[in-house]
Amino acid sequence: MEQTKENKMGTMPVNRLLITMSLPMVISMLVQALYNVVDSIFVSRLSEDALTAVSMAFPMQNLMISVAAGIGVGINAMLSRRLGEKNYAAANKTGENGIFLEAMGYILFLLIGIFATNAFFAAQSASAAIAEMGVAYTRICLIMSFGMFMQIASERILQSTGRTIYTMITQSTGAVINIILDPILIFGLFGMPKMGVAGAAIATVTGQICAAILATVLNIKCNPDVHISFKGFKPESEFIKTILSVGVPSIIMSSVGSVMTFCMNKILIAFSSTAVAVFGVYFKLNSFVFMPVFGLNNGMVPIVSYNYGAKNKKRLTKTVKLAVVYAALIMCVGIALFQFIPDALFRLFDASENMIEIGVPALRTISISFALAGVCIALTSSFQALGHGVLSMIISITRQLIILLPSAYILAKIAGLNAVWWSFNIAEVFSLALCLIFYKYIYNKIIKPLDNPINNSEQ
């Protein structure tokens, strides 16, 4: 059936549109952050070694999520653009080929989970006890990751058509299931065996599988803009290339974070395993600040892509400006929390006095540049929405590999552990400078030439 009704991304007032599309994503991301933190809080009750093991697993988990989410960014941006162009057949094909790519991503990490997990922990010089727990946790997360890949594919299709309320429901459902199962499986409540860190991993993948099933059902029942059918499906290079043109830079950009975390763990383990645990706790805590910004961006990307496809410059630029302002404001809340109550935040994780002594200055130092980070995240997401994910990738590589890691290594050698945390602020300043240069380039090259007087009237 021919679809002719104008999508709300082309008609609703921009500020209200951004808020209504982003708010469900912000809420769902906060719930995601909550279950990430709760996961570590329960694990920390086992031992500090258990917390360190899960922290050391983070780079591999993040790499897997980066692949799934990167493909999802490609699906989101390209599908929204096709809808803006009113090319519904191409939108359907984009969705089908995107799901195929997510399935290929799962197969890759299934193999990594089976064959490479031991080597991953051996490379981090983990003790035998930490490595044993880490391998058990990571292997389950990777081998059973089909739920996560399917969940992200289905949720990005919902987001690309503006139905972010449904993704809030699916992500929240998965997170709540995880939170409920965590203590039951970790500590062996209600007659279940005590599984330790393996129980945390099983709780995680169970929540992902349930969320994936729900997201798939909602796409079938509640998303009339996109019709996915695999009857007679064959992968089509045209659509795979367009998805990957945005997705691969996003994957690389996010994967750089895994490399950074892996190398930072190597730098910190030279001081103590407690320093590694502090870094792991920092990542859990900062998710409460960064996840809402990512939720804001998940709402922004389809709006920018849609209006780029519709050649509506005014709506496009207004969306980007509002996203930058809101992202900076959210990050200011994070600055306040990390500056004023860092010790209370660490005590959530049953932190020892030694961990608090290391962790408090770490949180206070790193959080200084949070507002700059918010601006950078919003701008790099706009690059991805406009099909210039390579620029986002360059910024990420520069920030984390060229600036942050060398700075951290040098500071560790010449000034000690507390100085290492300043590398994050140094990197953020360089990142912001690159973002502003690249946005000016993008604006002059593809935004400024857009000229559609009819569409550009203020909505």
The token pair at 163 is 């139905």
191/170 Cα distance (integer angstroms):
29
Q: Say how many CA atoms lie within 13 Å of 326 toward its Cβ.
A: 22
| pLDDT means over runs of 10, the chain (459 residues) | 56 83 81 79 89 87 90 87 86 92 97 94 81 94 96 91 86 91 94 94 96 95 87 89 86 84 90 90 86 86 84 89 94 95 90 92 95 93 84 90 96 94 96 95 88 49
CA distance 90 to 160: 13
User: Quick one: tokens of 271?
Assistant: 């001081």
How many whole angstroms separate alpha carbon 62 and alpha carbon 250? 13
Provide CB contacts within 8 A for 291, sequence distance 6+.
29, 30, 32, 33
Locus of tokens 């090319």: 87
pLDDT confidence of residue 33: 78
Choose among 327, 326, 330, 306: nearest CA to 459: 306
Cβ atoms within 10 Å of 286's Cβ, excluding its own: 20
Q: What is the pLDDT of residue 55?
A: 84
- Distance (Å, whole) CA 70 – CA 76: 10
Residue 4: per-residue pLDDT: 46
Question: How many CA within 13 A on the CB side of residue 440?
Answer: 5
Q: Which of 338, 302, 300 is nearest to 319 (CA)?
A: 300
Q: Work out the widest C-alpha separation in the chain, in whole angstroms.
A: 67
Closest to 144 in 3D by CA, of 208, 195, 194? 208
Query: And the tokens for 279?
Result: 């870094």
Question: By the 8 A CB rule, do 142 and 109 touch?
Answer: yes
CA distance 45 to 228: 45
